[in-house]
Amino acid sequence: MSETVTLSMEPRQPSASGLDNVVAAETRLSHVDGEAGRLIVAGYDVEELVKTHDFEGVAAALWSAAGLDPAPSRETVRQGLGRAREAAFALVPALLSSNRHTTVTEGLRTGLSMLSDEVEETGDKDIPAPIRAPLATLGTAAVITAALCRQRNGKSPVAPDADAGHADDFLRMLRNERASAEEVEALNAYLVTVADHGMNASTFTARVIASTRAGTISAVIGALCALKGPLHGGAPGPVLDMLDEIGTRDNIEPWLQREIAKGERLMGFGHRVYRVRDPRADVFNRAVTILTNGNERVHFAREVELAALAALRTAKPGNRIDTNMEYYTAVLLEALGIPREAVTSVFAMSRIAGWTAHVMEQERVGRLIRPQSRYAGHWPEDEAAA
Ligand code: ACO
C-alpha cells in the first residue's frame, strides 16, 4: 500500500510536482485502489454498481453519500433531470448562434457559463433546492452536447423528452430517433461507471473552487476545463485517431515502435493511481463486445492494446503501465455513434454527478483550500549583497 501524506505537509520530491500520494480530502463518494485495480463508488464495487444502477440511480446514490438530507431518490433525480433538460433547451438557440468555431467541449463550457450560480435560490421550484444546480448542469450538458454535435452536421437541435430516461433521451436528441434498448443499456453502463473516481485532477479542481464558495456552476465549469486535457478526459478522441492511423494489422508493431521511439505517449495507457488494469476498461470492453457482437473494430482494438502493452513493458520496464478506461471508452462511444470530438463532453455528462457531490462535501467542510509553494527565486537582499 502506498504511503500518504496530508496536503498541509510539505510534499516530498521527486513526486511533489504532481502531488502524488497527497491526501487532499476525506470523502464518502469513491475510493480507488490502484494496486488491486478496485474502484468503489458510493459503497459499491463498480462491477456491481453497473449491474444495479442506471445513471439517475448513481447520481442519487452519490448525492445521498455526500450527505444530502433528505437523500434524493432515483425517481426525484429522474423527474428533476427531465425538467432540467427542458429548461436547458431554452439556452440552445443563443448558444448555437454564437458558437461556430469551437470544439464541442469548448461549446459545452460556454453553455454552462450561461447558467447562474444563483440557480439554487432562483431555479425551478419543483426541484429540491440542494439539487437544482447539480441537475441544471447535468441537464445542460446532455442537451448542449447533443445540439452541438447536430450543428456540426448541419442539423437542427432536437427537443428533450422530460419523461424519458437520461441516457435514452441523450441518444434520441443526438440522432432524432430512439436508440435500441441495448444501446441505452451500454450508454448507461458508461455513465454509471465514470460518475466518480477519487481525487482526480478535475474533481480536485471542483473542490478547490467549491472551497472558495464560488458556487456549484463555477466549480463544474472549472472542473470541465481540467477534464478536457489529453492527460485526463481528452484521451479517447486521440485513441480513435491512433487506431485509424495504424489502420492495418501489419502496421501495428511499426507504428507503436515509431511513436515510442519519438517519445510520444500512447493514448489510453497509463494512470497515476492504477498500477494494474483499470477495472472500468473491463466494464466497457464487456459492454462494447455485447453491443457490437465483437466486430472487426473491437478485435483490432484488442490487438493494438496487447501489442501496445508489450511495447510499453519493453520500452518502460520500470513503469507499470496498463490499459486505462479511456481506451475502451473510445471504442464504446464510437460504437454508440457518438462523434469523437464529443467524447470528452459525454464523459462530463456523467462526471458532473461526481463533481457536484464533491462540491456538496467540500461546502460542508467549509474550509478554503490554500496550500503553500516553496520560493525558488532570487531574494532582494541577495541581489543587494552581490
Ligand atoms: N505512453 C508512453 N509512455 C508513457 C505513458 C503512455 N501512455 N504513460 C506513462 N508513460 C511513461 C512516461 O513517458 C514516463 O517515462 P519516463 O520516466 O521515461 O519519462 C513514465 O511513463 C512515467 O510517466 P508519468 O507522466 O510520470 O506517469 P503518470 O503516472 O503521472 O502518468 C498519465 C499518468 C498522465 C495518465 C500518463 O500515463 C499518460 O500520459 N497517459 C496517456 C494519456 C491518457 O491515456 N490519459 C487518460 C488517463 S485516464 C483519465 O484521466 C480518465
Residue 27 makes CB contacts below 8 A (sequence gap 6+) with 198, 199, 358, 361
Determine contact, residues 351/232, Cβ cutoff 8 Å. no
Greater pLDDT, 282 or 57: 57
15 pLDDT band (50/70/90 cuts)? Answer: low
What is the mean pLDDT of the segment spanning 278-287?
A: 88
Read off φ and ψ for residue 378, nearest 5 degrees.
Answer: -80, 145
The single residue listed with the C-alpha cell 430517433 is 177
233 lines ligand 1 (CB under 6 A): yes
Q: Which of 199, 260, 265, 326 to mutate to test the pocket of ligand 1 (most atoms within 8 A of CB)?
A: 265
Q: Please write the tens of the pLDDT for every residue from 360-373.
A: 999 999 999 999 99
Read off φ and ψ for residue 5, nearest 5 degrees.
Answer: -130, 160
pLDDT at position 10 is: 45
72 lines ligand 1 (CB under 6 A): no
80 lines ligand 1 (CB under 6 A): no
Spacing, Cα 269 to ligand 1 middle (Å): 7
The single residue listed with the C-alpha cell 437523500 is 71
Spacing, Cα 270 to ligand 1 middle (Å): 5
3-state secondary structure of 223: helix
Q: What DSSP string describes 286-307? A: HHHHHHHTS-HHHHHHHHHHHH
Cell of 115: 447558467
175 lines ligand 1 (CB under 6 A): no
Does the pTM exceed 0.85?
Answer: yes
3-state secondary structure of 32: strand
Helix (H) or strand (E) holding 326: helix 325-335
Determine contact, residues 147/176, Cβ cutoff 8 Å. no
- b/e string for 174-184 if b means 16 or more Cβ within 10 A? bbeeebeeebb
8 pLDDT band (50/70/90 cuts)? Answer: very low
Nearest CA to ligand 1 atom 47: 232
What is the phi-psi region of residue 39: left when phi exceeds 0, alpha when psi lies from -120 to 50, beta otherwise?
beta
Determine contact, residues 328/279, Cβ cutoff 8 Å. no
Spacing, Cα 71 to ligand 1 middle (Å): 38
Spacing, Cα 93 to ligand 1 middle (Å): 40
Nearest CA to ligand 1 atom 16: 316
Spacing, Cα 327 to ligand 1 middle (Å): 13
231 lines ligand 1 (CB under 6 A): yes
Nearest CA to ligand 1 atom 32: 271
Give catalytic residue positions.
Answer: 271, 326
Q: Please write the tens of the pLDDT for every residue from 161-220.
A: 999 999 999 999 999 999 999 999 999 999 999 999 999 999 999 999 999 999 999 999
Report which listed range, 98-107, 170-179, 331-340, is most confident: 170-179
Integer CA distances (angstroms), 284 to 49, 71, 332, in order: 13, 29, 7
